Each structure stands twice: as C-alpha cells, then as structure tokens.
Amino acid sequence: MRAVCVIGLGLIGGSVLRAATTAGRPAWGTTTSEADAAGARAEGFEVLDVEPALRRAAEEEALVVVATPLTAVRAVLRQVAEHAPGAWLTDVVSVKEPVDAEVRSLLPAGRYAGGHPMAGVSSSGWSAGSGELFTGAAWAVTIEEDTTLEAWREAARLALDCGAQVVPTSAASHDFAVARISHLPHVFAAVLAAVGADGGPLALSLAAGSFRDGTRVAGSEPELVRAMTEGNRIALLDAVDDALGRLGAARGSLASTGGLKSTVDAGYDARRTLDELAINERVRATVQLNGTALERLRELGERGSRVVALTETAAEVEIPV
Amino acid sequence: MRAVCVIGLGLIGGSVLRAATTAGRPAWGTTTSEADAAGARAEGFEVLDVEPALRRAAEEEALVVVATPLTAVRAVLRQVAEHAPGAWLTDVVSVKEPVDAEVRSLLPAGRYAGGHPMAGVSSSGWSAGSGELFTGAAWAVTIEEDTTLEAWREAARLALDCGAQVVPTSAASHDFAVARISHLPHVFAAVLAAVGADGGPLALSLAAGSFRDGTRVAGSEPELVRAMTEGNRIALLDAVDDALGRLGAARGSLASTGGLKSTVDAGYDARRTLDELAINERVRATVQLNGTALERLRELGERGSRVVALTETAAEVEIPV
C-alpha cells in the first residue's frame, strides 16, 4: 500500500493521518503547529520536520497530501518541489482552481490530482479531528484535461481508504458548486448571526433551533473561513449575486403583496431534492480505467454520481436515477 | 390546578396538551384535523368538538390556549367569544401583535396574555409533538400596558408547567426579535436551498454539514412557514433589509478588496455571544408580584432574563450578568 505524507495536521489533515493509518497505510505527518504536533505524537503518530518528511516521501514514493490553509499552499509546494518533486501529490484544500494553478507553476504535470473532502466541524486543530470524519462523506477528486489516470487513482484511493465516496469533477465545476453549498452557507451564517445579535439580548434569549442551525458555522475559526471564502472569490460572487437576487425578490414580494409563496416553495422544493438524494435509488456501473475513463467519470460526477470502489483496472460508480 | 383547553392539536398544541397533562393539570383539546384528533385519542387524550370544549372551559374556568396557525386565529377567537368569553386566554402563535389586535377586537381585556414557545421541529402535526418539546426552552409571555397580573400569571404558569422558562416581553418587542431569530432564518434557509439547487446535481452531491444545517428549516411545511413569516411582515421587512445591507456589503468587499473580514468577524462575534449566553453566569432575583411587577419583568426580559419559577406572590428571575 502506498505510503502517505500529510502536510498540516489540523482538523482535516489530522483526520487523514488517522484514517490512512487505520486503513493500514504507512503514514506520517508534518506541521508548523506545535500544538497539533504534540497532539499527534501523544496519540502515537509519527511527526517529522517538513524536510525529513518530504525526503522520506521521495524515498518511499509516497502520496504527499497538502492539508494546509490555501494561504500556505504556495510555500508548501515550493518545499515539495525542492525535496520530493517526483512524489504523487494531492491536497484537501477547499478550493481547487487556485491550488491547481500553483501546482502547475511549481511542479511537473502528471503527478497531481486535487481533492476536497466535504466534511468538517466548527472546531479546528488536531484535537477536533477523528479517523471517522470522512465516513460516507463526499470527497471531490479533480480531473483536468491533462490529469493522468495514475495521479487521479492515487488521490481517489486515499479518499476511499478514508471511508469517503469519490466525486469526480473538474476544479472549475467544483469551485462553482462549493461556492453554493459551502462558502455561501458560511457567508449566510455570518450575516444571520449578526442580524440576530443586532436584535439585542432579548432576541438572542429567544433564539432557538432555526437560528442555532442557521448560524452554527459562523462559530468556525474566522481565519479558516476567510481563507476558504476569499480563495473562491469569483465563484462566490456569482453565488452571492444569486442569493441577493432571491432575497431581494422576497423583500419585494413581502413589501408589495405581503406574500412569500415563491420564496418558501422554491426553498422547500430544493431541500426536498437534497433529502431525496440520500434515499433515492442508485444504479451501479463499472467504468473501465482506459483512455477515456476520466472524461466519463467527470460526466458522471456532474450528474451527482460517486465512485465507491476502485481496482487497478476499474471504478465502481453509483449513479442517481 | 387550573384546567387547560387547547384549541389546535398540531406540533405545538399537541405538545402543550401532553405537557400540561403530565404536569397534573386537567386538560382537553379540540382540532379540525381528523388525523390529529385520532392521534391524540389513540394516546388516551380527550378530544372534543370545539363548542363542547369551550363550554367546558367556561364551566371549569379553564385557561384556553389558542394553538392554531395565525390565519385561523380570528375564527377561533369568535368561537371563544361566543362560548367562553370569560375564560382565561393565551395562545402559542408565532407572532404576537396581530393576535393581540384580534383579541382586543373580540374579547374583554384583562383575561389574555399572549405566549410563544421557542421550540419546534421541521415536521408538523400531532405525531411530531412530545411532552418534552418545551423542556428548557424560552417561552415568551407578553405584557402590554393593560395586561393584568392575573392573566399574565396564568399564561406564564402554563409555560413553566410545560418545562419552559418565561421571557417577559411586549408583543412589539417579541415580533421585532423573532423576525431576526426565527423568521429571517426561515427566509435565509429557503434562499440558500434554492441557490444550492441552482448548482445542479453536482452541488447537491457535494453538500455537507454547512448546507444541511443552513437549509434544515427550509424543509418545514410551507403553509406554516408562510403563515409565520407573512404574519410578521413589518418586522420581517426590517430584518430582511438589515440582512440585504450586510450581504450587499459582503458582496462589495469581496468584489473590491477580495476580503470578507468584517462580515466573517461580525458573524463570529455574534455567534460567540449566543454560545456564551448559555454558559455565562446568571444571578437570581425575586420580583414581588405587586403593582409594578409586570413593567419590571418586561425590562428584565429585554435584558435577556427569564422567569424560572412563580408563586402566588413572586417570580424567580435569572438575569444574565
């Protein structure tokens, strides 16, 4: 089994290190956080300085997993380029086009496929992680025109070994989608929390489930939220504009006719679609990993399909019907 | 113990009937829903037609609890005025000024204090309710200039008997506050769900915790959401305008400087304030139920205080410090 070198041992990186180890893979990590390093070592994990960690990755032909905030990615990739330029490479950063661009500028093509596990909690750091964080979660693994089957398979296998299901997608489609289902929710939570607090102590004293749920992720570490949302600026602007349009329409309707029917109905239908995704029937298909496999997988991902198993020669895919 | 007559046996009314019975109070209900009536009877509760239910309330000097959607309140109050005009009266409807206005136009002053338990789940109807729904929840009980101590005490005692804590407030302050912490969250959830679904199957396939939490209440029964939000139109418009202003500022900042610092920081601070409310120290105070008690209680409610116990002569209040 291919070894794994995790760079960054916060919530996500720390959970990858745990899950990869549980899956039986040789795995070690490196981090600039003393607290995360101490936490990992206390639980028996191997934590090295960044240079030895990467040199070992080069020697063992490991998969290097970049698990730092976006703002640290360029510096980390420079180190990878210096100490382990030929290693297999993936990342778990929440935006994919900026990481893809950095990789292209610093490292040889063909060894990298980007990743993004759709799992998280409001708390951060090693201590917030768990080897079960990714169980059943979606984990995007990106496919560009020049992505190699080998690099994609390395990244996808890590996701499956961590208990996740793989969503094949392009970096651009990923960034467009997560702007809507991850980054806008963080902006909405922040705005909602602030409007609620504007109501003073009485409002917060009366706050119950709808406000707690709607503002939960506003409690996430601000620097991580900023790195994530600001890093996906163009796609997020598009999502915010859609939201402003819909919220403005609700305002107009409420002010003129007093009604919110189209707003409420559209939201209800959308949420039902989400809930039904989890229970709807899916068909299984086998995609042979030949020359056009990645293109086919990306099309299937666009339709909401997920890769649930992978062999040397084929991917098992669950397709919504 | 004063008997309780609950009109409407959906999620909230059904939960009140159960909780009041558990507290040892004689209690019966009435509903126009055959499903809710059958559900309540199957669990051994007494369900009468509306006229006999109200006549019995008049005979037993019961507390009548209006637990219908806002749109049905006027018709119900007409029936109360006909069959039990002298009964004590409260309600559990999610907006208070419109109910207060209807009561004033149809029933003698001095027997009514409005109520609103801040508890709910996305599902509705008798079967979704529970006698523990209100445990530890905030339950607003309104105080206007002419509210009598007796009527307020009857409504507040029901809330305490149901396991809730009482937030004394005016109808206007309540409606202003819940627009921000209950009605706007429903509008936000609907808009967020729709923007997410606009992203297609790939976006919904990638949706995780932040989107699920942020859209949960979009799955609530649309008619109930509309009754609640549309019934609080003026206060909700104010909250939506605040939200549009903050979301527009986020958009502008993202487009110009690329940063979201002030949005993210304001949301983080607001959410921390909410979380700290639950764990911060509170001081206990006793308010004697004399001539100025209601005014004093309303002031304390405005500061986030809650009444946690009530005797014939005094209210025990927990005040945040």
Confidence band for B113, pLDDT divided at 50, 70 and 90:
very high
Tokens 């959830």 -> residue: B189
Bridge partner residues of A66 (DSSP):
A7, A91
Question: Does B193 contact A267 at a Cβ distance shorter than 8 Å?
Answer: yes
Q: Report residue A88 as tokens.
A: 């297999």
B210 lies within 8 A of chain A by CB: yes
User: Distance (Å) from the C-alpha of residue B228 to the closest C-alpha of chain A?
Assistant: 10
- Quote the CA–CA distance of A185 and B199 in Å, as a whole number: 13
Q: Report residue A312 as tokens.
A: 């040397």
Within 8 A by CB and 6+ apart from B123, the residues are B11
Per residue, the 3-state secondary structure of A78-124, as one string, reads HHHHHHCCCCEEEECCCCCHHHHHHHHHHCCCCCECCEEECCCCCCC
| Mean pLDDT of the B182-208 span | 97
At A125 the pLDDT is: 93
pLDDT in tens, A101-117: 999 999 987 999 999 99
Q: How many residues does this entry show for chain A?
A: 321
Report the residue from B137, B208, B258 with minimal CB separation from A208.
B137
Question: Does B187 contact A226 at a Cβ distance shorter than 8 Å?
Answer: no
Question: Does B303 contact A277 at a Cβ distance shorter than 8 Å?
Answer: no
At B279 the pLDDT is: 84
Closest chain A residue to B226 measured between Cα atoms?
A260
pLDDT beyond 80 at B81? yes
Residues A58 and A35 sit within 8 Å (Cβ to Cβ) = no
End-to-end Cα spacing for chain A? 34
Tokens 């025109």 -> residue: A145
- Pairing label, strands A4-7, A27-30: parallel
ipTM: 0.94
Q: Give which of A130, A165, A195, A253 to mutate to test B binding, by max B Cβ within 10 Å.
A: A195
DSSP state at residue B134? T
At A46 the pLDDT is: 98
Q: Which domains, from first to last, does chain B contain?
A: 4-169 (3.40.50.720), 175-264 (1.10.3660.10)
- Quote the CA–CA distance of B321 and B276 in Å, as a whole number: 11
Report the residue from A169, A208, A215 with minimal CB separation from B119.
A208
At B321 the pLDDT is: 86
Question: Does B206 contact A240 at a Cβ distance shorter than 8 Å?
Answer: no
Across chain B, which distance is largest between two alpha carbons, in Å? 69
Nearest to A320 by CA among A288, A276, A256, A286: A276
Report the residue from A246, A260, A304 with minimal CB separation from B204.
A304
Confidence band for B120, pLDDT divided at 50, 70 and 90:
confident
Residues B120 and B204 sit within 8 Å (Cβ to Cβ) = no
Residues B28 and B47 sit within 8 Å (Cβ to Cβ) = yes
Residues A112 and A86 sit within 8 Å (Cβ to Cβ) = no
B234 lies within 8 A of chain A by CB: no
- Chain A partners within 8 Å of B184 (Cβ): 192, 195-196
Question: Does B267 contact A190 at a Cβ distance shorter than 8 Å?
Answer: yes
At A135 the pLDDT is: 96
- Chain A partners within 8 Å of B181 (Cβ): 196, 199, 203-204, 206-208, 210-211
Closest chain B residue to A272 measured between Cα atoms?
B219
DSSP state at residue A182? I
Residues B202 and A301 sit within 8 Å (Cβ to Cβ) = yes
pLDDT in tens, A42-101: 999 999 999 999 999 999 999 999 999 889 999 999 999 999 999 999 999 999 999 999
At A129 the pLDDT is: 96
At B166 the pLDDT is: 98
Residues A204 and B277 sit within 8 Å (Cβ to Cβ) = yes
Residues B92 and B44 sit within 8 Å (Cβ to Cβ) = no
Residues B232 and B185 sit within 8 Å (Cβ to Cβ) = no
Report the residue from B185, B192, B302 with minimal CB separation from A210.
B185
pLDDT beyond 80 at B123? no
What residue type is assigned to position A183 of the chain?
H
For A206-210, A239-243, B29-33, which range has the lowest pLDDT when averaged over its residues? A206-210
- Chain B partners within 8 Å of A255 (Cβ): 237
- Residue A71: other Cβ atoms inside 10 A: 14
- Residue A281: other Cβ atoms inside 10 A: 8
Question: Does B208 contact A243 at a Cβ distance shorter than 8 Å?
Answer: no
The arrangement of strands across the sheet holding A306-310 comes to: A115-117, A138-142, A165-169, A306-310, A314-320, A282-288
End-to-end Cα spacing for chain B? 34
Q: For B256, how many CA atoms within 13 A lie in the half-sphere containing its CB?
A: 7
Within 8 A by CB and 6+ apart from B160, the residues are B166, B307, B308, B309, B310
A49 lies within 8 A of chain B by CB: no
pLDDT in tens, A280-307: 889 999 999 998 999 999 999 999 999 9
pLDDT beyond 90 at B31? yes
Nearest to B155 by CA among B53, B23, B66, B60: B66
pLDDT in tens, A189-201: 999 999 999 999 9
At B26 the pLDDT is: 98
Closest chain A residue to B116 measured between Cα atoms?
A206
At A104 the pLDDT is: 95
Question: Does A207 contact B118 at a Cβ distance shorter than 8 Å?
Answer: yes
A180 lies within 8 A of chain B by CB: yes
